[in-house]
């Protein structure tokens, strides 16, 4: 469906056209009219489905007619679980608002960096994107007031709750006006999300975008049988042999992420790791370089990868398998989007064989496996 039929303003349609964005994703087709109609929304869709734009565009549409907010007050609050996602959501707001005739200010606030510059920036802010802990720090410092919020967005709501933010989120809810619009977006509908749905949403429009089986048709999956000690040499061999660029590698721990990135760099492959133990500056710089294409390989844990949404990512590598089949599907769903073929590679040890079979059974698709014993990995 074309964006022109969804009720957006001429200014936003002009911006979309200039960015060669003509056709809406399924979640955008359903969410944009619902948000414009001032309805509460519960949107369930996987990462990379276009859900961020499904609330950003109608919110910007509403803000075009809004008055300048009072000092230290904001119109729209977007709660997110990670710093990386906060930056990304802010960038999407800026992507679509920069050319609007009205000035719309969006600010992202999160921990890990000094709070004073964020406090000073909280003047005439229309949209505040925040992690829960830093938001409460700013509230306690009286740097921002939440009493006039008109729209609340919970993005990646499943992760907001599973990462231990429940107490902070509950406290934030108590600071908000009762009359407001609530938009809740999540990759999954679990018990925690259902609880928030019952507490926060009022007669919501339920939008559930099912993962279609043929989504995997755009992803070439292959696996390699390999011993644990040969995983690193095999990874470097594959990257060099296929001249891979923009490779996102998943590990199960921060230690392994650093270890993999270090060994790649030591072997002449430009790589960086991002995880919770890295400084905020290092994480944002690595992510910006990877998005721009100047960094060849990014190694990440599942938690940090929630803030990475990059179109046309050609390669995803499972250096280590995730615990759940759902996380595996979320990982590989980062490639092969928008009918642009991508490749998902999994390095499987004998100890991981059973778990990988469970993942494939859940996915209802079997992955072609290659024995790596015949590869010449010496010196890799």
Domain ranges of the chain: 3-208, 213-374
pLDDT value of position 212: 54
Mean pLDDT of the chain: 88
User: Which residues sit opposite 153 in a β-bridge?
Assistant: 78, 183
CB atoms < 10 A from the CB of 137, how many?
18
Residue 195 has pLDDT above 90, yes or no: no
Phi first, then psi: give them for residue 270, nearest 5 degrees. Answer: -70, 115
Token pair in block for residue 284: 């944002």
Contact call for residues 66 and 126 (beta carbons, < 8 A) = yes
Going by CATH, does the domain composed of 213-374 fall within 3.40.50.300?
Answer: yes
pLDDT bin (cut points 50, 70, 90) of residue 287 is confident
pLDDT bin (cut points 50, 70, 90) of residue 309 is low
Q: Which residue has the higher pLDDT, 20 or 67?
A: 20
C-alpha–C-alpha distance, residues 132 and 130, integer Å: 6
Residue 237 has pLDDT above 90, yes or no: yes
Choose the most confident range, by mean pLDDT, from 242-256, 280-294, 301-315.
242-256
pLDDT value of position 214: 46
Share of the chain above pLDDT 90, in %: 55
Residue 338 has pLDDT above 80, yes or no: no
Mean pLDDT computed over 105-121 = 93
Residue 78 has pLDDT above 90, yes or no: yes
225-252 burial: b if 16+ Cβ within 10 Å, else e: bbeeebbbbbbbbbbeeeebebbbbbbe
Looking up tokens 């844990």 gives 301
pLDDT value of position 379: 60
Q: Which of 13, 88, 106 is nearest to 57 (CA)?
A: 13
Looking at residue 286, what DSSP letter applies? H
Q: Which fold has domain 3-208?
A: Rossmann fold (3.40.50)
pLDDT bin (cut points 50, 70, 90) of residue 310 is low
C-alpha–C-alpha distance, residues 183 and 228, integer Å: 44
Contact call for residues 306 and 184 (beta carbons, < 8 A) = no
Mean pLDDT computed over 75-81 = 95
**Tens of pLDDT along 23-57?**
898 999 999 999 999 999 999 887 667 889 999 99
């Amino acid at each position: 469906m074309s964006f022109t039929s969804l009720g957006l303003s001429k200014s936003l349609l002009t911006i979309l056209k200039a960015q060669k964005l003509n056709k809406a994703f399924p979640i955008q087709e359903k969410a944009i009219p619902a948000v414009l109609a001032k309805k509460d929304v519960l949107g369930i869709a996987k990462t990379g489905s276009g859900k961020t734009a499904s609330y950003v565009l109608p919110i910007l549409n509403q803000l075009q007619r809004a008055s300048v907010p009072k000092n230290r007050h904001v119109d729209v609050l977007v709660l997110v679980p990670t710093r990386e996602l906060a930056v990304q959501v802010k960038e999407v707001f800026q992507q679509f608002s920069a050319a609007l005739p009205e000035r719309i200010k969006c600010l992202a606030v999160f921990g890990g960096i000094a709070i004073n510059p964020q406090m000073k920036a909280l003047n005439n802010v229309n949209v505040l994107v925040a992690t829960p802990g830093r938001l409460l720090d700013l509230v306690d410092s009286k740097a921002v007031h939440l009493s006039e919020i008109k729209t609340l967005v919970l993005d990646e709501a499943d992760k907001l709750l599973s990462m231990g933010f429940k107490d902070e989120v509950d406290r934030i809810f108590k600071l908000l006006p009762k009359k407001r619009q609530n938009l809740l977006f999540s990759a999954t509908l679990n018990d925690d999300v259902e609880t928030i749905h019952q507490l926060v949403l009022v007669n919501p429009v339920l939008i559930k975008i099912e993962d279609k089986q043929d989504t995997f048709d755009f992803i070439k999956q292959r696996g390699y049988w390999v011993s644990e000690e040969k995983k690193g040499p095999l990874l470097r061999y594959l990257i060099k042999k296929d001249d891979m660029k923009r490779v996102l590698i998943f590990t199960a721990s921060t230690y392994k992420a650093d270890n993999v990135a270090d060994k790649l760099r030591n072997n002449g492959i430009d790589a960086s790791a991002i995880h919770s133990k890295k400084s905020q500056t290092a994480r944002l710089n690595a992510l910006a370089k990877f998005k721009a294409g100047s960094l060849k390989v990014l190694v990440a844990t599942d938690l940090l990868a929630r803030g990475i949404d990059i179109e046309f990512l050609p390669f995803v590598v499972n250096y280590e398998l995730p615990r759940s089949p759902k996380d595996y599907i979320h990982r590989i769903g980062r490639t092969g989007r928008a009918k642009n073929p991508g490749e998902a590679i999994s390095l499987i040890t004998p100890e991981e064989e059973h778990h990988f079979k469970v993942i494939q059974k859940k996915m209802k698709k079997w992955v072609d496996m290659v024995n790596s014993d015949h590869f010449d990995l010496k010196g890799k």
